[in-house]
Amino acid sequence: MDKNNNNSKPTRRDFIYTLTATLGVLGAGASVWPIVSQMNPDSSVKALSTIEVDISKVEEGKEITVMWRGKPVFIKRRTEDEITKARNISLKELPHPENDKKRVIKDEWLVVVGICTHLGCVPINGKGEYGGWFCPCHGSHYDTSGRIRKGPAPTNLEVPKYKFVGEDKIIIG
Amino acid sequence: MKNILKTLIIALIFTSPLNSAENKTKLLEPNWTFDGFFGKFDRASLQRGYQVYKEVCASCHSMSYLSYRNLGEKGGPEFTKQEVKAIASQYEIQDGPNQEGEMFMRPARPSDKFVNPYPNANAARVANGGAYPPDMSVLVKARKGGADYVYSVLMGYTEDVPEGISLEEGVYYNKYMIGNKIRMPKPINDGSVEYTDGTQATEEQISKDVVAFLTWAAEPHLEERKKTGFKAVVYLLILTILGFIIKKKIWLRIEPKV
Amino acid sequence: MSEYSDKKNEEFSPVHTNKVGGSPYTGVIGWIDNRLPIFRIFKHEYLDFQVPKTLNYFWSFGGILMICLIFLIITGLALGMHYKPSADEAFDSVEKIMRDVNFGWLIRYAHMNLASFFFIAVYLHIFRSLYYGSYKEPRQLMWLLGITIFFLMIATAFLGYTLPWGQMSYWGATVITNLFSAIPIVGEGIVTWLWGDYSVGDAALNRFYVLHWLIAFLIVGIVVFHVIALHIVGSNNPSGIEPKDTRDTVSFSPFTTSKDLVGMLVFILIFVAVMMFAPNYLGHPDNYIPANPMVTPAHIVPEWYFLPFYAILRAIPDKLMGVIAMVSSIAILGLLPWLDFSKVRSSVFRPIWKQCVFLFVLDFFLLMYVGAMPAEGIYLVLGRIGTIYWFAFFIILAPLVSMYEKPLPMPQSINEYMDWKKKGKIKTFNFTG
């Protein structure tokens, strides 16, 4: 340093340092990205994101559970009584107000992801105070539309994207 | 000193793996579009290549690491979504068990792997006179010479067998195959497939298309790799030059120019 | 209890229990540094650390190797998240990495080629030491630690190569583990124990995977020792003359760092070019064929970086002696500081030893070439000549040359060395940039 006899303008020298440092940081960032990105779902997982379910054998009042993206999906064939129960409630009473009609495609069929919105446990069918589901982990009660009624869960059970193919088949995803 | 360095460099080239040649016949080397720094696949050729695989190779050779969805992915044949669905649905695969515990057949979906022509390797061997038709997913990378080698073998069948080579039943002479004997009968002739895009289906053209397809299958990210590679090399060149300038500047503090 | 422990404390209380303080920094950094002196150590060892000012680009390879090791561990970690160490799934999981995992192809190609480039750098690093006498007093222990690292590298590179479970993986594993069967009496037992089976299979692959990781981290550990030792004895330099005061040295930063940076960037540039445009050039096509215990490939060859030692193994017609020769061809490097007892470090001033070192390098390439060829005819002869020179270099040439060689006149200081070099009085690599 004591022998510093550099006479060039400091601005130009500063520029080349800044440029190099900036480029270096950009390059380092770009090479970190693949390492981060590899932890995301890979393309074979993404491609598997739809399933087809035959629902012709589900009886009224019963429910089947199918696996979709590694999670349980409840497919419930609701009785008249259950549908009425889900509809005869004022939205004002709900912690997460959603109309039952908007949560189903056909009134009879309720399709929800069976993961409690609190911390990810699987709620139990037919338990709880509202005739729907009850989560054993922290005591969330869901009604016959899969809506949260009581307990710590913040939102209703998620309705996945699905569609009917004919009378007795649905495609989820 | 320079001479010694030169010798070292020559020695290095000399010892490189490519030079330990065992196959003395010079391979055919067509101009592949995917060669070189800016190499890219020719989509139409890949699509034709898939047709050749489907109609000629697939009856014996599996491609078990590929899924039908790959045919629509970027950097490959890039069939449209509808085309990929249509291709997949031509095949039946076993699924199950269903709610009754039964296995059942259903049409394949894009997410399914290519259907194998044989249930297992032994069945494949029995059906082909004891020779196992190798899986073609990574075939091009698994052969010395790569695409050139596979292309040469496809083009290397000759009628007249050189003297001194005796062929048993079910064995064919091939100019480029290692050992010159092959159990696969000549698979490709003029007009083996009928192209719909008006391309002349000559033996050469068909072989080129299918080898391009196999190259893509073995290295589906080839285009992305070369593109990224080019950018990375340019970036590093700039950074290296900048680094060198900075180094010079810093060292000027103790080594003033003479 | 308390009475007892009080008494103990009184009797055994150390002189200093509290060393907080002394940091050159203030603020938060000073607060931390007073309690955990990492900042002052860093300043002392990496900013103000004095380094001979004559270092040429051969001295970049230490830093380059460090970068290689870090990148290898990072990419290895990422691969480990997707790889499955079982005979049924290994090949498939590697193909999945190459096809489906986001950037999986890039990460695997990087890991594969980094392994090769790690060896390129380490061979140049070792050559640097040989040529400039970096293994001599007081750096013998560094040299021994370095050889330990090299042995561990060989082990972990071999184990890593088995993981994709291709034909070369499988047969390489079979051949190399079978080397242990050369040991009399217990050999067969050891091999079976290594395999956990009666052939290389699922059990072996699983443990190879675990050991591949373990050894990688062992290398990190020994590298730390290697570097600590370097900071005690200081860097050697092309003149081989120890710096006397700060007129002979520069501070590590920014001088050495800027120069190392250039070396690293050039190295990374070459690495990236190879990885992106010829990723399989240094590999073997047979490893893209899934392992098949029923068929051995026509030519099994180890990875290029093992070829010289493989040639030595094959040069000896006896199984046990071959294995012993191969292992000692590396181990003998450890004796070099004592076999070569010349007081002059740098080959720049040792005209005869210099020629011996160059011949040794040529011998290395000769053996590499022979290792890739079939073990017959002229190659066998060449392999034997190469093996003889390899050992003669250490056992005969090193002590003899030390005894009888007349070194060239030497400058008194590093500054004088630079002066002589400028005047053309010294002929050596012009590799200073």
pLDDT of residue A13: 66
Task: Tally Cβ neighbours within 10 Å of residue B257.
Answer: 6
The answer regarding whether domain C301-405 maps to CATH 1.10.287.980 reads: yes
CA–CA separation, C220 and B133 (whole Å)? 45
Chain C: give the shortest CA distance to residue A39, in Å.
8
Please give the radius of gyration of chain A, using alpha carbons only, rounded to the nearest integer. 27
Note whether C231 contacts A: Cβ–Cβ < 8 A.
no
Q: Which residue of C has its CA nearest to B21?
A: C373
Q: How far is CA A133 from CA A62, A123, A160, C11, C292, in A?
A: 13, 6, 17, 68, 53
> Is-catalytic flag, C231?
yes
In this structure, is the dihedral angle defined by the CA atoms of residues B109, B114, B117 and B123, taken in order, positive or negative? negative
Q: Choose the catalytic residue: C235, C239, C329, C346.
A: C235
Which positions of A are annotated as active-site residues?
Answer: 138
Q: Report yes or no: A50 and A172 within 8 Å, Cβ to Cβ.
A: yes
Of residues C141, C139, C161, the one with CA closest to residue C211: C161
Distance CA B137, CA B216 (A): 9
Residue with tokens 């006896």: C318
d(CA C248, CA C236): 12
What would the two tokens of residue C87 be?
Answer: 């005979």
Q: Is C82 in Cβ contact with A34 (below 8 Å)? A: no
What is the C-alpha radius of gyration for chain C, rounded to an integer number of angstroms? Answer: 25
CA distance C79 to B37: 27
Distance of CA C352 to the CA centre of its chain: 27
Among residues A31, A28, A9, A8, the alpha carbon closest in space to that of A20 is found at A28
B103 touches chain C (CB under 8 A): no
Tell me how far apart the alpha carbons of residues C170 and C295 are, in angstroms, rounded to a whole number. Answer: 10
* Residue A4, pLDDT score: 45
CATH number of C52-281: 1.20.810.10
Nearest to A19 among B73, B242, B254 (CB): B242
Predicted local confidence at residue C81, as pLDDT: 97
Greatest Cα-to-Cα distance within chain A, rounded to the nearest angstrom: 93
The alpha-carbon gap from A75 to the nearest alpha carbon of chain B, in Å, equals: 14
Task: Please tell me what DSSP assigns to residue C9.
Answer: H
Tens-binned pLDDT, residue by residue, of chain C (433 aa):
444 455 555 566 666 677 788 899 999 999 999 999 999 999 999 899 999 999 999 999 999 999 999 999 999 999 999 999 999 999 999 999 999 999 999 999 999 999 999 999 999 999 999 999 999 999 999 999 999 999 999 999 999 999 999 999 999 999 999 999 999 999 999 999 999 999 999 999 999 999 999 999 999 999 999 999 999 999 999 999 999 988 899 999 999 999 999 999 999 999 999 999 999 999 999 999 999 999 999 888 899 999 999 999 999 999 999 999 999 999 999 999 999 999 999 999 999 999 999 999 999 999 999 999 988 889 999 999 999 999 999 999 999 999 999 999 999 999 999 889 888 888 776 666 5
For chain C, what are the domain ranges? 52-281, 301-405
Name the nearest CA neighbour of B235 among C58, A29, C282.
Answer: A29
Give, rounded to a whole angstrom, the gap between the first and last alpha carbons of chain B.
25
The token duo for A41 is 């779902």
pLDDT(A2) > 60: no
Average pLDDT, chain A: 87
Interface A–C counts its CB contacts (< 8 A) at 35
Q: Is-contact C401 C356, C-beta < 8 A?
A: yes
**What residue in B sits closest to A58 (Cα-Cα)?**
B99
Chains with 3+ CB–CB pairs under 8 A to C are A, B
Half-sphere exposure of B179 (CA within 13 A, CB side): 7
pLDDT band, very low/low/confident/very high, at A69 (cuts 50, 70, 90):
confident
Task: Determine the 3-state secondary structure of B118 from DSSP.
Answer: coil
- pLDDT number for residue A90: 84
Chains interfacing with A (3 or more CB pairs < 8 Å): B, C
The residue type at B215:
T
B246 in reach of chain C (CB within 8 A): yes
Q: What is the pLDDT of residue B12?
A: 52
> B64 contacts in A (CB within 8 Å)?
none
Scan for tokens 């009184």, then name that residue: C10
pLDDT attached to residue C185: 92
C53, C103, C111, C246, best to mutate vs chain A, most A CBs in 10 Å:
C103
- Cα separation, A78 vs B162, in Å, equals 79
Residue A6 has pLDDT above 80, yes or no: no
Q: Residue C40, class by beta-carbon neighbours within 10 Å (0-12 exposed, 13-18 middle, 19+ buried)?
A: middle
Contacts of C103 in chain A (CB under 8 A): 33-35, 37-38
Mutation for A interface: B70, B89, B111, most A CBs within 10 A: B111
The verdict on whether C16 is a catalytic residue reads no
Residue A1: its pLDDT value, please? Answer: 38
**What gap in Å lies between CA C106 and CA B229, rounded to an integer?**
10
What pLDDT does B95 receive?
Answer: 84
Q: How far is CA B219 from the centre of its chain?
A: 7
User: How far is B182 from B171, CA to CA, in rounded Å?
Assistant: 6
The minimal CB distance from B142 to the residues C286, C361, C428 is found for C286
C-alpha A23/C-alpha A30 separation (Å) is: 10
Q: Which residues of C231-264 are buried (b: 16+ CB within 10 A; e: fewer)?
A: eeebbbbbbbbebeeeebbbbbbbbbbbbbbbbb
For residue B240, give the nearest of C62, C58, C59, C266 by alpha carbon: C266
Decide if B138 and C273 are in contact by the 8 Å CB cutoff. Answer: no
Question: What is the rounded distance in angstroms from the CA atom of residue C378 to the CA atom of residue B181?
Answer: 29
A contact test, residue of B73, B100, B221, B239 with most A CBs within 10 A: B239
User: So what's the pLDDT on residue C14?
Assistant: 62
Q: Do B4 and C358 touch (CB under 8 A)?
A: yes
Interchain contact, C284 vs B17, CB within 8 Å: yes
CA-nearest of C368, C84, C415 to C241 is: C415
Are C78 and A35 inside 8 Å of each other by CB? yes
Q: Which residues pair with C51 in a beta bridge?
A: C250
Query: Within an 8 Å CB–CB cutoff, is residue A40 touching chain C?
Result: yes
Say if CB C87 and CB C208 are below 8 A apart. no
Beta carbons within 8 Å of C1's beta carbon, 6+ residues apart: none
- Is the CB of A38 less than 8 angstroms away from the CB of C75? no
Pairing of strands A140-143, A51-54: unpaired
The tens-digit pLDDT sequence of chain B (258 residues) is 455 555 555 555 555 444 444 446 789 999 999 999 999 999 999 999 999 999 999 999 999 999 999 999 999 999 999 999 999 999 999 887 877 788 989 889 898 999 999 988 889 989 888 888 999 999 999 999 999 999 999 999 988 888 888 888 888 999 998 888 898 999 999 999 999 999 999 999 999 999 999 999 999 999 999 999 999 999 999 999 999 999 999 998 886 554
Given C259, C284, C354, C421, the catalytic residue:
C259
Closest CA in chain A for residue C251? A1
> Among this protein's residues, is C259 annotated catalytic?
yes
Q: Which tokens hold the place of C364?
A: 């290395």
Contact (CB<8Å) C99/B237: no
Cβ distance C277 to B229 less than 8 Å, yes or no, reads yes
